[in-house]
């Protein structure tokens, strides 16, 4: 413990924030007094520097090197600034766009970013209010900035915050930039020695200016230009919730400008509130997150519930079934519906569609049938966005749609990241078009299953917080790498791919190299097109297992019958793999 106390004392000595300084000092005093809970907490706060990884930082707010706090952010800003000066011509002039959401400390972290960059002579365009993530991403390319910073923890619990970085192409950073920025951060002085300009002085020198409202207007015009069809029944009744995030104003404007006037927001969740008082977990995927929206939808007899996560880069849909109950669609179902709609009814030509490797294979089947270029990327929208840019440059093909199963979608090239506002408008448009045809989105899913086969996807996530959890997740992945299986869930294993090693081992023993970048992911391809993927989460203390089952439909068979058969296979597959993994 003495080494731990010394590190904590050193951190306290250099923490420029009186609040976190006092918080940590109190914790150290309790730990020195023998309080075991305090000692465990101290270990968690100093289990290593908060890693600059998946497009930046994300962690629990609090004092210590393993937490999100002003000391960590100041050093990160300095490292980002140094890297930009080294790598980007005219970085000082092009500057950095800085946005933030309504979470606790978001404004403080964003202003610290602007102050540190100003000291380095790098100009900033700082949003004066909390804004959606897709608006920040759009502003980077629209303004020709060298980079962008969005202070957000997206859909994580209230105690989290984060620091997302965009490169000048408008996409989240990938190698080598993430590693380069991380290396620069390591060279940063202690936080209290990071020089910064007061905001008033930075503004007076022209090094900080507010994000102009015209950028928001241009973004909304771009969303309006994403439309596929202008017909359909626009009398569609919509209940909307931003889950206490920053989506209500812009999403409602975008829907209204697309002709959707019957939109009612959940009043208890409409205003930004970083405490997220009506939900345990502000993620529209989580059980109970849409309870208030569902109750309001029943009262309003809404056709569809549209939900965004707090920073508005994700989208969830819930639709009314014939019995009058609301059924929440999975991310894969929404991705397949939107992708099919854009690919079949949008502009034709040489096009590109992308999905992450953990998303349903169904979009790939649709794209290949339609002759559309299609690829799967690593998990994380940064890979989808950057690969879309590369493919468009290499082939001249137009990127039209990308998605990942965790409720992330983008239509077209307006935003090089997940865009919950653009996706909401296209989703409402699709609902309106199908309603005019006398169909719901559930009917549309049935039609796709008959045409392309029934795809069922499932996921098992195991949460393992703290330092012990990180070690357990690593042990589980190492254990899987040390095992081989010929059959899983009654299905033959056709191949096993290790993306970290960059190899695929086929059933006959042959080994081939993979083209995807290295990543801590294992993929098991099973007979008949079924699949299992195992990977640690990049943003949460979880290990995730993904399961996909493809079931051929007999002529005249109802999708319900095929789905029952597929879900039975899924249950067997899930149980067998969890046993195989030792969890």
Q: Order across the sheet with 315-320: list the strands.
A: 263-265, 238-241, 304-308, 315-320, 326-328
- Give the pLDDT band of residue 54 (cuts 50, 70, 90): low
- Of 328, 349, 372, the domain-final residue: 328
Tokens of 226: 């994403």
Taking residues 526-551, report their average pLDDT.
Answer: 88
**Residue tagged 């096009």 (tokens):** 351
Taking residues 186-209, report their average pLDDT.
Answer: 97
- Exposed, middle or buried by CB within 10 Å (0-12, 13-18, 19+), for 302? buried
The CATH number assigned to the domain holding 251 equals 3.40.120.10
Q: Name the residue range of residue 224's domain.
A: 219-328
Same domain? For 138 and 192 the reply is: yes
CB contact at 8 A, 154 and 162: yes
Same domain? For 494 and 443 the reply is: no
pLDDT in tens, 423-470: 999 999 999 999 999 999 999 999 999 999 899 988 899 998 887 888
Same domain? For 258 and 340 the reply is: no
Same domain? For 19 and 56 the reply is: no
Give yes or no for residue 53 having a pLDDT over 80.
no
* Tally of domains within the chain: 5
Same domain? For 204 and 59 the reply is: yes
Give yes or no for residue 215 having a pLDDT over 80.
yes
**pLDDT score at 537:** 85
Q: Which of 4-13, 115-124, 531-540 has the lowest mean pLDDT?
A: 531-540
Give yes or no for residue 55 having a pLDDT over 80.
no
Same domain? For 298 and 434 the reply is: no
Tokens of 238: 């919509």
Within 453-484, residue ranges assigned H as helices are 466-481
pLDDT above 90 as % of the chain: 91
- Give the pLDDT band of residue 515 (cuts 50, 70, 90): confident
- Of 451, 468, 483, the domain-final residue: 451
Same domain? For 278 and 354 the reply is: no
Same domain? For 484 and 339 the reply is: no
Q: Of 154, 356, 360, 440, which is the active-site residue?
A: 154
- Buried/exposed code over 429-461 (b: 16+ C-beta within 10 A; e: otherwise): bbbbbbbeeeebbbebbbebbeebbbbbbbbbe
CB contact at 8 A, 305 and 293: yes
Give yes or no for residue 139 having a pLDDT over 90.
yes
Same domain? For 72 and 185 the reply is: yes
Tokens of 85: 């000066």
- Of 308, 328, 348, the domain-final residue: 328
Taking residues 84-109, report their average pLDDT.
Answer: 98
The CATH number assigned to the domain holding 531 equals 3.30.310
Give yes or no for residue 3 having a pLDDT over 80.
yes
**pLDDT score at 421:** 98
Same domain? For 265 and 162 the reply is: no
**pLDDT score at 114:** 98
Closest CA to 174 of 1, 354, 52: 52
Q: What are phi and psi of 99, to 5 degrees?
A: -125, 165
d(C-alpha 450, C-alpha 284), whole Å: 29
Give yes or no for residue 1 having a pLDDT over 90.
no
Taking residues 501-521, report their average pLDDT.
Answer: 92
Same domain? For 30 and 107 the reply is: no
Identify the bridge partners of residue 375 per DSSP, sorted by sequence position: 354
Q: Which of 232-241, 392-401, 409-418, 555-564 has the lowest mean pLDDT?
A: 555-564
Taking residues 560-569, report their average pLDDT.
Answer: 92
Give yes or no for residue 377 having a pLDDT over 90.
yes
**pLDDT score at 2:** 85
* Mean pLDDT estimate for the chain: 95
What SS3 string covers 17-79? CHHHHHHHHHHHHHHHCCCHHHHHHHHHHCCCCCCCECCEEEEEECCCCCCECHHHHHHHHHH
Give yes or no for residue 32 having a pLDDT over 70.
yes
- Mark whether 154 is an active-site residue: yes
Same domain? For 149 and 123 the reply is: yes
**pLDDT score at 539:** 65
Predicted TM-score (pTM) of this structure: 0.92
């Amino acid at each position: 413990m003495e080494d731990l106390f010394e590190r904590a004392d050193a951190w306290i000595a250099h923490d420029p924030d009186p609040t976190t300084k006092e918080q940590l000092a109190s914790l150290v005093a309790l730990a020195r007094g023998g309080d075991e809970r305090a000692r465990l907490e101290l270990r968690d706060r100093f289990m290593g520097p908060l890693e600059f990884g998946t497009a930046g930082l994300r962690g629990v707010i609090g004092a210590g090197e393993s937490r999100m706090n002003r000391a960590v952010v100041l050093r990160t800003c300095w490292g980002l600034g140094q890297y930009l000066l080294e790598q980007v011509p005219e970085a000082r002039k092009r500057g950095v766009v800085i946005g933030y959401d309504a979470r606790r400390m978001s404004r403080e972290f964003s202003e610290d970013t602007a102050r540190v960059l100003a000291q380095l002579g790098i100009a900033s365009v700082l949003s004066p209010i909390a804004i959606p993530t897709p608006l920040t991403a759009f502003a980077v390319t629209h303004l020709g900035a060298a980079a962008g910073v969005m202070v957000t923890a997206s859909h994580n619990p209230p105690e989290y915050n984060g620091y997302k970085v965009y490169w000048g192409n408008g996409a989240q950073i990938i190698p080598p930039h993430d590693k380069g920025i991380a290396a620069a951060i390591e060279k940063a002085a202690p936080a209290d020695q990071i020089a910064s300009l007061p905001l008033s002085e930075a503004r007076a020198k022209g090094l900080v200016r507010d994000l102009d409202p015209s950028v928001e207007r241009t973004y909304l015009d771009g969303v309006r230009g994403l439309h596929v069809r202008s017909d359909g029944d626009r009398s569609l009744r919509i209940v909307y919730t931003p889950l206490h995030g920053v989506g209500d104003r812009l999403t409602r404007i975008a829907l209204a400008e697309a002709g959707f006037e019957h939109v009612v927001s959940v009043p208890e969740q409409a205003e930004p509130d970083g405490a997220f008082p009506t939900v345990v977990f502000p993620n529209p995927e989580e059980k109970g997150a849409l309870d208030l929206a569902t109750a309001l939808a029943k009262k309003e007899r809404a056709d569809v519930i549209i939900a965004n996560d707090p920073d508005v880069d994700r989208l969830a849909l819930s639709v009314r079934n014939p019995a009058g109950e609301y059924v929440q669609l999975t991310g894969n179902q929404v991705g397949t519906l939107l992708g099919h709609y854009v690919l079949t009814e949008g502009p034709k030509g040489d096009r590109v569609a992308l999905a992450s490797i953990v998303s349903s294979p169904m979009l790939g089947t649709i794209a290949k049938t339609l002759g559309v270029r299609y690829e799967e990327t690593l998990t994380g929208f940064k890979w989808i966005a950057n690969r879309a840019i590369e493919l468009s440059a290499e082939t001249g093909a137009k990127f039209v749609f990308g998605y990942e199963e965790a409720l992330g979608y983008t239509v077209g090239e307006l935003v090089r990241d997940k865009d919950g506002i653009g996706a909401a408008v296209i989703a409402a448009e699709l609902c309106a078009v199908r309603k005019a045809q006398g169909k719901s989105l559930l009917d549309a899913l049935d039609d796709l299953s008959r045409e392309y086969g029934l795809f069922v996807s499932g996921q098992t996530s195991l949460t393992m917080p703290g330092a012990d959890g990180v070690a357990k997740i690593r042990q589980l992945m190492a254990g899987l790498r040390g095992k081989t299986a010929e059959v899983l869930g009654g299905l033959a294993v056709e191949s096993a791919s290790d993306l970290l090693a960059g190899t695929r081992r086929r059933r006959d023993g042959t080994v081939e190299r993979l083209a995807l970048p290295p990543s801590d992911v294992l993929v098991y391809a099973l007979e008949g097109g079924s699949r299992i993927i195992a990977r640690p989460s990049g943003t949460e203390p979880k290990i995730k297992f993904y399961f996909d089952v493809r079931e051929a439909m007999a002529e005249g068979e109802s999708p319900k019958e095929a789905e029952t058969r597929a879900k039975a296979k899924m249950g067997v597959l899930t149980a067998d793999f969890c046993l195989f993994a030792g969890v």
